[in-house]
Amino acid sequence: MVRTVQVILCVTLWIGIQPLLAEENDVEKLRKELNEIAIVEKKMMVPMRDGIRLATDVYRPEGLKGPLPAIFWRTPYNFNKLGESRLKLIIASMKRGYAFIIQNERGKFFSEGEWEILGLPRTDGYDALTWIAAQEWSNGKVGTIGCSSSAEWQLALAAMDHPAHAAMVPMASGAGIGRVGPFYEQGNWYRGGVYQMLFATWLYGVQNTQRPRLPEGLPREDVVRLSSYFDLAPSMPEVDWKEQIKHLPLVTMMEAVDGPKGIYAEFIQRQPDDPAWYEGGLYHDNESWGVPALWLNSWYDVSIGPNLALFNHAIKNGADEEVRDNQFVVIAPTPHCRFQTDKKETLVGERNMGDVRLDYDGLIARWFDFWVKGEDNGVLEDTPKVQYYTMGLNEWQSSTTWPPKDAKTVSWYLTSNGKANSLFGDGGIVESPPEEDHPDQFSYDPTLPVPSLGGGVCCTGGAVKPGSFDQRSVEVRHDVLVYTSDAMKEAVEITGSIGVTLYVSSDAKDTDFTIKLIDIYPDGTAYNLEETIQRTRFRNGYDKQVFMEPGEIYKLEFSPLSTSALISKGHRIRIEVSSSNFPRFARNLNTGGNNWDESEGVVARNSVHHSSEYPSQIRLPIIRRPETRQ
């Protein structure tokens, strides 16, 4: 019996490790192929204007002397050992005749200097392009590419309009945006003046500025040799972020998990319009734009709104007509950086989005071939300016603008008899505001916040999963106001920017209000489409703090939401209103204090008003197309 159990365990273990072995074998095959087709120059120590050198790996196709176009990937992450996706990208680039350059930001791994978020794009990024263009094998043109951190630095670089910066592909680049239009997110740090909790978990693994490092000025051959011995990548102690993310006060959260010292404690104390945000590597809308861009974004990413606002800003504020006319965007129904799939059906959270596949590789290759290599391949003529996936319809659509020109704004108003609390309340959405005000009231206790369930989240260490989930488990709470329309008599497509206005009151000096837009299926399933939050102290602007007075009613405008969704015939539209969405957003402790240095809160008794005098509303961009009517 024992021997039988041992055999079963051995077989089970072997079956379990088979996929891992196969994956490792695939990576080894790719590494071998790359070494066969490429000239590899590792740890080229590229000097910046202040003398600091950045570790840079250069790959050039064997047998091609030049002049070569170049693709540049710059990152704060470790690339000492390349993974499968990066290897595939480099190999594909080699086969298309490109040089491929990967560089670490200063202060990361084998690069010298001190790290700063986004890696000084206006100086280090600019100098790196100058170095690439000056190489004897270069044709003088560089395309930049990357997702998340590898995309975000590109935005401030685009403002510099470097002569070698021929084109860019920023993917999921929201954390590179400071202020754009109505959005003061400052690199995703804020939404509506509320701290987004992702940065505690992200910085825990990234701000490893306290680290072993090689002596500055070490000869390159020594750096190359030592990099084959030591990886310099930290192995961070595992943290249960589902629990640790509850820690208060916020300012000591990094200390509580024994995380690395760095910028977290400084940034958590900054206000949304603090002048310090305008001194770093973020891109702001008082700047020009100098580069043709192919933007890749997602509906369930952290900051789809700011990304689309920046896309329009680049069209209006490009350095010249060529730049203004050559901004293209793709918007997928997926989470952060999860564009590629080979599946015919894709689950995003719990919702089946259908066939979301798109030939991203082919599009990016043609984009760079045109701008960086100089091929007249027709990519500008046969690529839509805007490609977006409409959820519910489950199809890709296209437009010449964002939002589409045929989107017409329709205002829908909140209504109830004062009992909109929970899924079982009487909250509705109607075409005209009710005459009389029957405010809906609820108590918001920061020790019992409404839990986050899906949405456009990233990087929370597993504390929140991104995507679309059935919200009914949240909607049963008494501190969630639920407003639901009648069933649609015909399909309605919501595509574009969504405005929200609430009229609110509270017995607290300061509190938050949250909004969630939901598609309700005939069986009651409630799939979230978009969500946001607004801190009341910032209702008159992010450069000032104005607190509430008990009994006073205040108008609260939210930064726009963005989506594309077909609300099918028989479905209903729902709006959730509450005062917390945790841990996606930090809890307001309702005291009127700093929040970041507080551990104790108070219960806020909050109200939402809706009447002809206080027309709380949502403004939906509606497209009525015959082919979508059901």
Q: DSSP states of 258-277 as a string?
A: TPPPSSHHHHTT--TT-GGG
Q: Under the phi-then-psi rule, with left for phi > 0, alpha for psi from -120 to 50, and beta for the rest, what region is 474? A: alpha
Q: What CATH number does residue 322 fall under?
A: 3.40.50.1820
Q: Are residues 293 and 440 in the same domain?
A: no
On whether both 452 and 359 belong to a single domain, the answer is no
Taking 90 as the threshold, does the pLDDT of residue 190 lie above it?
A: yes
Residues of the chain above pLDDT 70, percent: 95
Averaging pLDDT over each range in 81-90, 221-230, 597-606, which range is the top one? 597-606
- Tell me if 219 is assigned to some domain: no
Omega before 234 within 30 of 0, i.e. cis = no
pLDDT for residue 10 is more than 90: no
Question: Would you say residue 577 lies in a domain?
Answer: yes
Predicted pLDDT of residue 365: 97
**What average pLDDT does the segment 255-272 reach?**
93
Q: Which of 126-130, 256-260, 331-335, 493-497 has the lowest mean pLDDT?
A: 256-260
Alpha carbon of residue 495 to chain centroid: 19
Report whether pLDDT(443) > 90.
yes
The secondary structure of 413-461 as a DSSP string is EEE-SS--BSTTS-EEEESS--SS---EEEEE-TTSPPBP-SBS---ST
Same domain for 598 and 568: yes
Same domain, 382 and 485: no
Residues 297 and 429 in one domain: no
Q: Give the pLDDT of residue 211.
A: 79
Statement to judge: residues 499 and 619 lie in one domain: yes
Q: What single-letter DSSP state applies at residue 538?
A: G
Domain at 420, CATH number: 2.60.120.260
pLDDT at 2 over 70: no
Give me the pLDDT at residue 624, please: 84
Q: At what angle do helices 84-95 and 2-37 cross, to 10 degrees?
A: 30
pLDDT score for 533: 98
Residue 380, domain member (yes or no): yes
Instruction: Give the residue, 63 or 193, on which the prediction is more confident.
Output: 193
Q: Looking at residue 4, what is its pLDDT? A: 55
pLDDT digits (tens, 9 = 90+) for 382-426: 999 999 999 999 999 999 999 999 999 999 999 999 999 999 999
Tell whether 332 and 451 lie within a shared domain.
Answer: no
Q: What average pLDDT is seen over the chain?
A: 94
277 lies in a domain?
no
Residues 369, 448 within the same domain:
no
Work out the pLDDT band at 371, boundaries 50, 70, 90. very high
262 vs 609 pLDDT, higher one: 609
pLDDT tens digits, one per residue of 452-499: 999 999 999 999 999 999 999 999 999 999 999 999 999 999 999 999
User: Residue 575, Cα to own-chain centre: how many angstroms?
Assistant: 23
Cis omega (within 30 of 0) for bond into 237? no
* Reported confidence tier of residue 629, pLDDT bands at 50, 70, 90: very low
Say yes or no: 360 and 311 in one domain: yes
Tell me the two tokens of residue 550.
Answer: 């008990």
Q: Is residue 315 part of a domain?
A: yes
- pLDDT tens by residue, 507-564: 999 999 999 999 999 999 999 999 999 999 999 999 999 999 998 999 999 999 999 9
Task: Summarize pLDDT for 332-367 with one digit per residue, the tens.
Answer: 999 999 998 888 999 999 999 999 999 999 999 999
Angle at Cα 153 formed by Cα 221 and Cα 34, nearest 5°?
45
Q: What is the pLDDT of residue 233?
A: 87
Inter-residue contact 195 to 585 (CB < 8 Å): yes
Range of the domain at 514: 408-628
Does one domain contain both 41 and 127? yes
Average pLDDT over residues 157-168: 98
State the pairing for strand pair 165-171/293-300.
Answer: parallel
**Cis omega (within 30 of 0) for bond into 560:** no
533 in a structural domain: yes
Look at residue 460 in the predicted model and tell me its pLDDT.
93
CA angle, residues 576, 598, 115, in degrees to nearest 5? 90
Q: What is the pTM of this model?
A: 0.93
Cβ 580 vs Cβ 513: under 8 Å: no
Give the pLDDT of residue 22: 53
- Tell me: pLDDT of 7 over 70: no
pLDDT higher than threshold 90 for residue 21: no
Give 21 or 297, the one with higher predicted confidence.
297
Q: Residue 214 in contact with residue 259, Cβ under 8 Å?
A: no
Residue 630 has pLDDT above 50, yes or no: no
Residue 241 has pLDDT above 80, yes or no: yes
Select from 53, 35, 31 the least CA-distant residue to 44. 53
Domain-embedded: residue 21: no
Pair 425, 292 in one domain: no
pLDDT at 109: 93
Segment 576-585 shows an average pLDDT of 98
Average pLDDT over residues 293-306: 97
Q: Same structural domain for residues 293 and 371? A: yes
Nearest partner of 620 among 583, 578, 585, 573, judged by Cα: 573
CA distance 300 to 464: 12
Domain count, the chain: 2
* Percent of the chain clearing pLDDT 90 (strictly above): 89
At 71-110, the pLDDT tens digits run 999 999 999 888 898 999 999 999 999 999 999 999 999 9
Domain contains 471: yes
pLDDT of residue 13: 45
> Quick one: pLDDT band at residue 231, thresholds 50, 70, 90?
confident
